[in-house]
Amino acid sequence: MPIDTERGAVLARQLHPSNGAGAPDEAPLVRLDHLDTLWFQVTGTICNLRCVHCFISCAPDNHSFEFLTLAEVEDWLARSGRWGVKEYYFTGGEPFMHPELPAMLERTLERGPASVLTNGTLLPKRALQPISRAARDAAYSLEIRVSVDGPSPETNDPIRGEGTFDRAMDGVRKLLEQGFLPIITATQVWEPERDEEVRQAFVARLRALGYAQPRLKILPSLRIGREAERVRPYADEERVTEGMLEGYETNQLLCSSSRVVTSRGVYACPILIETPEARLGSTLEEASRPVRLGESACYTCWLHGAICSNYAGIGQDVS
């Protein structure tokens, strides 16, 4: 289904005409039903790229959030067992900048399935080979997600930087050689009516690499961080209200079942780590309190579901 946030905003106003720019402290609360997923902001806001649509404003020189250590990840893994966490995500920044990522994933796969969100441009054999061995030996699955925002250098590189498309495709090839079937994720930076054209171009490009049944996930853009400057910020009416949650299954929202570990504490959502109000505390106990949907980015999750998870409804697995 095409992703069209603009038309979604119109639909929301039609369904809930009272939806306005209510104060964030009046936004509805969502409780933590169960801590199913724990995210690690493993490289903080440090990334080898400076994408013009990054909603966290990650960059090589952004040290707002720092690396987590292996010991810290092991400690959080031990704590997560008491909460019944079912799966783990590693994100950043760029996770493959972390020299201890292979060891972190090996420890994690002893407890449950894991996913790594990468831009695919830094995948050396010295990291991929031990990660591949750990994945083969583990009882749980390991998913690798590669972010590419267009099926060609002409569409991707203006967003992610010159040469990044070819480097990411080389990364996808390396993952295939190591036995992974990566999920290719792309933010919809094109017009919605071009969805099918872009999807087909992605599939053709990936099959040319030898990826016979490519897995593709299209994400809506989040109009915060640099994306708000590149396109536009959220409109005043693009906020979640109490009325919009009437009859809505809140388990579609990531904050109802997950928390994010960072170098500066536990946050409600991987999208909002630069939002001070999203910091819930220093422990999982403190972070188990309800989350207020007071940020404009919450509107996108309300509209599309838990967009950060691998298997949200807007994803497209092409087989």
pLDDT tens-place string over residues 203-218: 999 999 999 999 999 9
Separation of alpha carbons 256 and 137, rounded Å:
32
Q: With 50 as the cut, is the pLDDT of residue 5 above it?
A: no
Which of 236, 225, 275 is CA-nearest to residue 255?
275
Q: Give residue for tokens 């583990």.
A: 138
Contact 44, 67 (CB under 8 A): yes
67 lies in some domain: yes
pLDDT in tens, 146-178: 999 999 999 999 999 999 999 999 999 999 999
208 lies in some domain: yes
Tokens in use for 100?
């201890």
246 lies in some domain: no
11 lies in some domain: no
pLDDT of amino acid 318:
45
| Range of the structural domain that residue 142 is part of | 29-237+253-290+307-317
Separation of alpha carbons 144 and 146, rounded Å:
7
Domain count for the chain: 1
How far is CA 236 from its chain centroid? Answer: 24
Separation of alpha carbons 261 and 89, rounded Å:
10
pLDDT in tens, 216-272: 999 998 998 888 888 899 999 999 999 999 999 999 999 999 999 999 999 999 999
* Helix pair 153-160, 164-177: axis angle to 10 deg: 100
3 lies in some domain: no
Q: Give residue for tokens 């995948």.
A: 123
Q: With 90 as the cut, is the pLDDT of residue 11 above it?
A: no
295 lies in some domain: no
What's the pTM value of the predicted model, to 2 decimals? 0.90
Q: With 90 as the cut, is the pLDDT of residue 143 above it?
A: yes
pLDDT of amino acid 317:
45
Rg of the chain's alpha carbons, rounded to an integer?
Answer: 19
Separation of alpha carbons 226 and 149, rounded Å:
15
User: For residue 257, which amino acid is it?
Assistant: S
Separation of alpha carbons 66 and 191, rounded Å:
35
Average pLDDT over residues 294-316: 79
21 lies in some domain: no
Which of 121, 107, 41 is CA-nearest to residue 78?
107
Separation of alpha carbons 58 and 186, rounded Å:
17
- 13, with CB counted inside 10 A (0-12, 13-18, 19+), is middle
Contact 219, 187 (CB under 8 A): yes
Q: With 80 as the cut, is the pLDDT of residue 127 above it?
A: yes
pLDDT in tens, 73-108: 999 999 999 999 999 999 999 999 999 999 999 999
At residue 312 the predicted structure's pLDDT band, cuts being 50, 70 and 90, is: low
CATH code (residue 285): 3.20.20.70
Query: What mean pLDDT is reported for the chain?
Result: 90
269 lies in some domain: yes
